[in-house]
Structure 1
Amino acid sequence: MNIIVPATSANLGPGFDALGLSVSLYNEVSIQSAKFSSVSINGEGSENVNLKRNNLFISIFNEIFTELTGENENFRVVFDNKIPFSRGLGSSSAVIVGAIASAYVMAGFKADRQVVLNRALTYENHPDNITPATLGGFISAVVDSGRVYANKFEVDDSLKAVVVIPNVAMNTNQSRSVLPKNYTIKECVNNLSHAAFLTSCFCSKRYDLLKIACKDMMHEERRMSALDELFEVRKLAYENGALMSSLSGSGSSFLNIVYANDAQNFRNKLAGKFNKFRVEIFSFDNDGFQIIQS
């Protein structure tokens, strides 16, 4: 059995811990029954020896598989990781969602997406990354009584994501530590109104209004201050016609949404200015995780 799980970009400006979308950058995991347990890692994390010994995917997978079957079995697990760690592209959510879905399938059950989503809350207590990793598309999600409720809208093929990926990691917990414990009414109203408007733009495909809709007053610039170049990324992005430019998750990556016809030229402009960073073009993923039976 193989599973692919997409990268995600969360928060999306004002949608702090509530809005997210998925892009066509994937982690793939192959799992097979074996006489002895083994782990191989290709791509991101392949040089980190500790990932084989202390692997979150393996831990979650074994926990749920044993819960479902009452058995401890051996598996050969091969990771092909494309999603960079600690860059605001949902690498941990991909691990969590992938491990849960895989455990259900290998235990002989259907990987029901709502079940996977609710179980994922045990390991990540906000829904903005785990939901697009599970469902794909653009999502607006809330948590109520331990259950995730989400509305999904497919992102149009006429759009591309141009993602700037700095060579600097940002730890989510450290990134949250720079945020204030209290916000003003003005800040709260700004984010409520803009998050609602941003959701309506994706719903109605009014992509021309995304620049107005994605304005944030709660977290984005506070987090961007850890890497001053991010302010320049956003400035250059809007000077070159970005429909939307916002910090991806807690950073350090920056998500830019452009029309597909403009993507290559736009990417070249950013890559020319920020030649120490990766600048990649991705389509949007509207499917979420996918199980491939071998």
Structure 2
Amino acid sequence: MLYIKVPASTSNLGPGFDSIGMAVNLYLELEVCENETWDIHHFGEAIADLENNENHYIRKYCKYFFEKFNLEARCFSIVMHSDIPLARGLGSSGSALIASLEIINYFYGLKLSKEEKVRLLSEIEGHPDNVAPSILGGVVVGYYNKKQHITKTLQVPVIEWPILVVIPNYELQTSVARDVLPNELAYSTAVEAGAIGNMLIASLYAKDYVTAGHMMQQDMYHEPYRKHLVPHYQFVRDAITGDCFAFLSGAGPSIFVVCSPDHFNENFRALNLLQNCEVKHIQVDVNGVISYEK
């Protein structure tokens, strides 16, 4: 039996659009063995409503890899547990994609390295910011060139301040959030947006989380166009105090908050007053995906 554990991820960290991501300690876990038919059992509120049919993410992605690697199709019995909420900007689809590749890699003896997994899955996703941190762990900066099929990633120092995530009780499909983005940015806007992202990375290396936090809140690529899709966005921004900084998780609607240790308790209490939202104190996952034979 194969055991797989895939961490959730948050992408962008504000201005790092499609290029910066962070793995966090919410997990998709699977126990997998070969079977005569597909048999998938779901545990955990996040995936309780999923059905075992041909549209199941794991089944679809396994079928994709059968064709990609020219493999004979097999069926699997899978027990899944997840506390990664669906369509909340926490990489639920990316975690399923990674888990599917782990299944194929193990049962077909492909012996793919983590770097090969990141490259392959970045080609599928079109960007590395979700899959790379969930595979490698920690905070990852990534670059993907579609025309030249080049993928580069670099792990940067993890954030050492406490982190909260505000998870609303409604979904936001990534396709909807992508549709509101502009087709073009003015040259001067693009230059400023790039400078903000550069300062974010420099601040993480310097462990200057006040500067990093200010950069996280200055995004010009996506948050100005998406925030109207997230009703609680402004409530969160207005609720936090002190050295505490908020940014959309991926396409939303979850919101991450990086908070000074000196102001953590007061902000945790303030955010828990939000209606129809769950507030979690989370940690950065530094290990990435793990899988082994039980």
The CA deviation at 1:275 is 3.0
Question: 1:14 touches 1:217 (CA, 8 Å); kept in 2?
Answer: yes
Count of aligned residue pairs for this structure pair = 289
The CA deviation at 1:220 is 0.3
Question: 1:154 touches 1:286 (CA, 8 Å); kept in 2?
Answer: no
Partner of 1:280: 280
Partner of 1:147: 150
CA distance in 1, matches of 2:73, 2:166: 42
The CA deviation at 1:288 is 1.1
The aligned amino acid for 1:161 is I
The CA deviation at 1:207 is 1.6
CA distance in 2, matches of 1:189, 1:66: 42
Distance 1:105 1:265, change over 3 A: farther
Confirm whether residue 219 of structure 1 aligns to residue 248 of structure 2. Answer: no
Question: 1:160 touches 1:284 (CA, 8 Å); kept in 2?
Answer: no
Question: 1:2 touches 1:31 (CA, 8 Å); kept in 2?
Answer: yes
Per the normalisation by structure 2, the TM-score is 0.91
Query: Cα deviations across residues 45-98 of structure 1 (Å, max 9, x unaligned)?
Result: 22233x544112222224425765833323111111211111111111111122
1:29 match: secondary structure: strand
CA distance in 2, matches of 1:160, 1:109: 39
CA distance in 2, matches of 1:86, 1:121: 19
Of residues 198, 201, 204, the one that matches 2:203 is 201
**Which range moved further: 182-191 or 162-171?**
182-191
Partner of 2:292: 292
Partner of 2:182: 180
The CA deviation at 1:159 is 2.5
The RMSD of aligned alpha carbons is: 2.0
Question: 2:210 touches 2:243 (CA, 8 Å); kept in 1?
Answer: no
CA distance in 2, matches of 1:68, 1:177: 32
Confirm whether residue 168 of structure 1 aligns to residue 170 of structure 2. Answer: yes
Question: 2:139 touches 2:157 (CA, 8 Å); kept in 1?
Answer: yes
The aligned amino acid for 2:257 is N
The CA deviation at 1:225 is 0.8
CA distance in 1, matches of 2:79, 2:54: 14
2:175 match: secondary structure: helix
Confirm whether residue 36 of structure 1 aligns to residue 37 of structure 2. Answer: yes
Partner of 1:254: 255
CA distance in 2, matches of 1:125, 1:48: 25
Query: Cα deviations across residues 25-63 of structure 1 (Å, max 9, x unaligned)?
Result: 1111111122433111112222233x5441122222244
Per the normalisation by structure 1, the TM-score is 0.91
1:14-29 to 2 correspondence within 5 Å?
Answer: 14-29=15-30
Partner of 2:246: 245
2:229 match: secondary structure: coil
Question: 2:177 touches 2:251 (CA, 8 Å); kept in 1?
Answer: yes
Partner of 2:267: 266
For structure 2, the residue ranges without an aligned partner over 5 or more in a row are none
CA distance in 1, matches of 2:38, 2:150: 33
The aligned amino acid for 2:73 is N
Distance 1:65 1:257, change over 3 A: same
The aligned amino acid for 2:213 is K
Among the aligned pairs, what percent are the same residue?
25
For structure 1, the residue ranges without an aligned partner over 5 or more in a row are none
Question: 2:140 touches 2:153 (CA, 8 Å); kept in 1?
Answer: yes
Question: 1:6 touches 1:133 (CA, 8 Å); kept in 2?
Answer: yes
The aligned amino acid for 2:278 is R
Query: Cα deviations across residues 226-282 of structure 1 (Å, max 9, x unaligned)?
Result: 233211202222x2431x31011010000111245754543222012x032011111
Partner of 1:159: 161
The aligned amino acid for 2:275 is N
Partner of 1:88: 89
1:287 match: secondary structure: coil
The CA deviation at 1:293 is 2.1
